[in-house]
Amino acid sequence: MVDVALPRPGRHAELAGNLARVRDRLSAACELAGRDATSVTLVAVTKTYPASDVRLLAELGVTDVGENRDQEAAPKTAALAADPTTPPLRWHFIGQLQRNKCRSVAAYADVVQSVDRVGLVRALAAAAGRLRDRPLDVLVQVSLDDAAGRGGVSIGSTDAEYGLWPVVEAIRAESGLRLAGVMAVAPLQQPPGPAFARLADVAAQVRGVVPTAGTVSAGMSADLEAAIANGATHVRIGSALLGNRPTLR
């Protein structure tokens, strides 16, 4: 199990300063979009960072936490859950998910944001049904450019495994899952605004079928303003909040 070690000296002040700057950006973006700043949830993306950083962020009021890799997230969530000084956290799994990791992820995640194929829906639902006493919230990851290897359902495809609507209907058929909304990553080397506008249109279509599926997870450190302008309810912030990532060895 991961130790929730003492943070390095000065880390609390560093995170507090970064958080203040991120919240200023969020507030400015919401004001420009005519939205209330409380309508946007900040998800701290803590991959490669220690459990002590997660606890510090929670003490600063950031209790939604995103992780990309199960092999890192599982011990980190367990360590924090075992530490009685940790404030309550809401864990978002946001990375591409393999079916053989569904049992592990369903045990600790409150939300899985990266559901993008029917086979994954079924594996995740089976795991959630065995491990949980309430449905697991899931988001459909939408590809905004159909780029290979980045994940996401194809908006216009009717493919029975990877199409948007087959995945939506598969989730709706599973009592162990609850469709909470949609997620996307901005395309590479393209302006994020038009892409997030396409996501907003998809989100509206999904809400037309499932009115409670109101979550729109879009925007990261570099493009949160464009995401908020196009209706994002959740932004996933890593480097702007935690600093440049340590090099993985």
Q: What is the pLDDT of residues 199-212, one digit of tens each?
A: 999 999 999 999 99
pLDDT at 211 (0 to 100): 98
Q: Assess whether pLDDT exceeds 50 at residue 249.
A: no
Banded pLDDT at 246 (limits 50, 70, 90): low
- Domains in the chain and their CATH numbers? 11-242 (3.20.20.10)
pLDDT at 100 (0 to 100): 96
- Residue entry with tokens 């404030």: 87
Q: Assess whether pLDDT exceeds 90 at residue 126.
A: yes
Give the separation between CA 6 and CA 172, rounded to whole angstroms. Answer: 43
Q: What is the mean pLDDT of the chain?
A: 94
Query: What counts of helices (H) and strands (E) characterise the chain?
Result: 9, 9
Q: Assess whether pLDDT exceeds 90 at residue 15.
A: yes
Express as a percent the part of the chain with pLDDT over 90. 88
β-bridge pairing 64-67 and 41-45? parallel
Nearest of 1, 188, 17 to residue 79 by alpha carbon: 1
What is the number of other CB atoms lying within 10 angstroms of the CB of residue 225? 20
pLDDT at 5 (0 to 100): 67
Banded pLDDT at 2 (limits 50, 70, 90): low
Q: Do 70 and 104 meet the contact criterion of CB atoms below 8 Å apart?
A: yes
* Ranges 78-92, 138-152, 165-179: which has the least confidence: 138-152
E strand or H helix at 33 = helix 11-33
Give the separation between CA 71 and CA 19, rounded to whole angstroms. Answer: 27
Phi, then psi, of 158 in degrees rounded to 5? -105, 15
pLDDT at 244 (0 to 100): 83
Read off the pTM: 0.95
* Ranges 21-25, 51-55, 92-96, 241-245: which has the least confidence: 241-245
Q: Do 110 and 152 meet the contact criterion of CB atoms below 8 Å apart?
A: no
Phi, then psi, of 34 in degrees rounded to 5? 70, 35
* Ranges 199-213, 215-229, 233-247: which has the least confidence: 233-247
Banded pLDDT at 148 (limits 50, 70, 90): confident
